[in-house]
């Protein structure tokens, strides 16, 4: 497969998936048609990148992980079940890629001596969560609040709020029950609201 590249759309355009790729395009990609796969990439590249960025909060890392996601997708198209939505399958791969990267990051951080400044530094890298949820003045607060959510809450919040996935799709991506997803989303909303309330109520 020839190289592919994605750039994050800062305005949040094209981050949501409104229609699935036609089955014949998927079939052509399975048969090694790179042009057909690039149709898939162009449709889902930005939503997948946006999702990964919400998880890892680092632009460069998210772009690397998006690249890896589509490389794995290209290599494993034969394993895509006919009844599985392509977008759900891609988000599932992206989630696994992100988890592997985060595990490696934790492993690397544990190998840094406690006397090293890096081991004591809390990073807040990343850019604005896509979707234009609030005015630009809230971007930093939203980013920090999202980063503070635990993994399960951040996953469901990102998929439901930023990418408008159904609970059924999120369940397929994460492997969690719909009941757990609803509970996690409720708690994530409450935590986000608590963090944003001082800003939202300012001047009222």
* pLDDT tens track for 143-153: 888 888 999 99
The alpha carbon of residue 51 and the mean position of all alpha carbons in its chain are separated, in whole angstroms, by 2
Q: Are 181 and 81 in contact (CB under 8 A)?
A: no
DSSP state of 21: P
Does 26 score more than 60 pLDDT? yes
Helix 139-148 crosses helix 178-200 at what angle (to 10 degrees)?
A: 140
User: 15: which residues sit within 8 A by CB, 6+ positions away?
Assistant: 9, 46, 47, 50, 130, 131, 162, 163
Does 156 score more than 70 pLDDT? yes
**Confidence category of residue 67, pLDDT binned at 50, 70, 90:** very high
Does 193 score more than 90 pLDDT? no
CATH number attached to the domain at 23-200: 1.10.1740.10
What pLDDT is stored for residue 125 in this prediction?
A: 37
- Give the tens place of pLDDT for each residue, 68-126: 999 999 999 988 877 678 999 999 999 999 999 887 765 554 444 334 333 223 233 34
DSSP labels, 84-149: S-HHHHHHHHHHHHHHHHHHHHHHHHHTS-TTSGGGG-------PPSS--S-GGGHHHHHHHHHHS
What pLDDT is stored for residue 17 in this prediction?
A: 44
What pLDDT is stored for residue 105 in this prediction?
A: 63
| C-alpha span between 94 and 177 (Å, rounded) | 19
| C-alpha span between 195 and 181 (Å, rounded) | 21
């Amino acid at each position: 497969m020839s190289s592919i590249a994605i750039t994050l759309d800062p305005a949040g355009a094209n981050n949501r998936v409104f229609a699935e790729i036609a089955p014949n395009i998927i079939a052509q990609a399975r048969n090694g048609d790179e042009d057909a796969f690039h149709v898939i990439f162009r449709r889902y590249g930005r939503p997948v990148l946006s999702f990964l960025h919400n998880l890892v909060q680092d632009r460069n890392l998210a772009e690397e992980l998006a690249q890896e996601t589509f490389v794995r997708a290209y290599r494993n198209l034969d394993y895509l079940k006919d009844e599985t939505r392509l977008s759900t399958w891609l988000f599932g791969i992206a989630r696994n890629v992100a988890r592997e990267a985060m595990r490696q990051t934790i492993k690397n951080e544990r190998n840094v001596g406690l006397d090293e400044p890096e081991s004591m530094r809390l990073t807040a890298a990343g850019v604005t969560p896509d979707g234009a949820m609030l005015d630009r003045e809230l971007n930093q607060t939203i980013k920090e609040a999202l980063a503070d959510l635990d993994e399960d809450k951040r996953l469901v919040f990102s998929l439901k709020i930023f990418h408008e996935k159904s609970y059924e799709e999120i369940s397929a991506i994460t492997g969690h029950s719909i009941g757990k997803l609803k509970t996690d989303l409720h708690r994530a909303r409450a935590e986000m609201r608590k963090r944003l309330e001082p800003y939202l109520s300012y001047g009222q």
